[in-house]
Amino acid sequence: MTGRYRDDEGQVAIEFLGMVPLILLTLVLLWQCVLVGYTFSLAGNAADEAARAYAVGDDCHEAGTRNLDGAWASGAKVTCAPEGGMAHATVALRVPVLFPGAISFPFDVEADAGAVREDRERP
């Protein structure tokens, strides 16, 4: 009777090995979500900095890319324009795929910011 029935020895190891790809895929997706969120945060901060600089007459593009790391700064698009009494800045950044600096998704994350212009005479 003992030769015919086997116990469950090693079953946990087999189940774990079956789950490893699913666990790794979940970790990769979570990491990519972190990178997307971080890119949104960087774009918002860069737009704020660019708008403040443009509002006082400084270089908009330099201020918008000053605090960006190399992977995000290389593809950054910073534009500034006056809108009435406001300085408006838009920053577009590429979202990296898994590792910053390797490849990026084919879409940009955009952020807008505005500040009151201070580089002109006020009435």
Checking if the pLDDT of 122 tops 50, the result is no
In a domain, 6, yes or no: no
In a domain, 15, yes or no: yes
Residue 81 vs residues 36, 41, 53, 59, 92: alpha-carbon distances, Å? 27, 22, 12, 12, 15
Task: Specify if 1 maps to a domain.
Answer: no
* 28, part of any domain: yes
2 located within any domain: no
Q: How far apart are CA 60 and CA 79, in angstroms?
A: 7
Q: How confident is the model at residue 1 (pLDDT cuts 50, 70, 90)?
A: very low
Could you give the 3-state DSSP secondary structure of residue 123? coil
Q: Tell me if residue 55 falls in helix, strand or coil.
A: helix
pLDDT digits (tens, 9 = 90+) for 36-80: 899 899 999 999 999 998 888 888 888 888 888 877 888 889 989
Token duo for residue 41: 């945060």
- DSSP 8-state code for residue 67: T
Phi-psi sector, 98: left (phi>0), alpha (psi -120 to 50), beta: left
The count of structural domains within the chain is 1
Quick check: is 121 in a domain? no
| Domain-embedded: residue 122 | no
Give residue 21's domain range.
11-116
The verdict on residue 105 lying in a domain is yes
Identify the bridge partners of residue 104 per DSSP, sorted by sequence position: 96
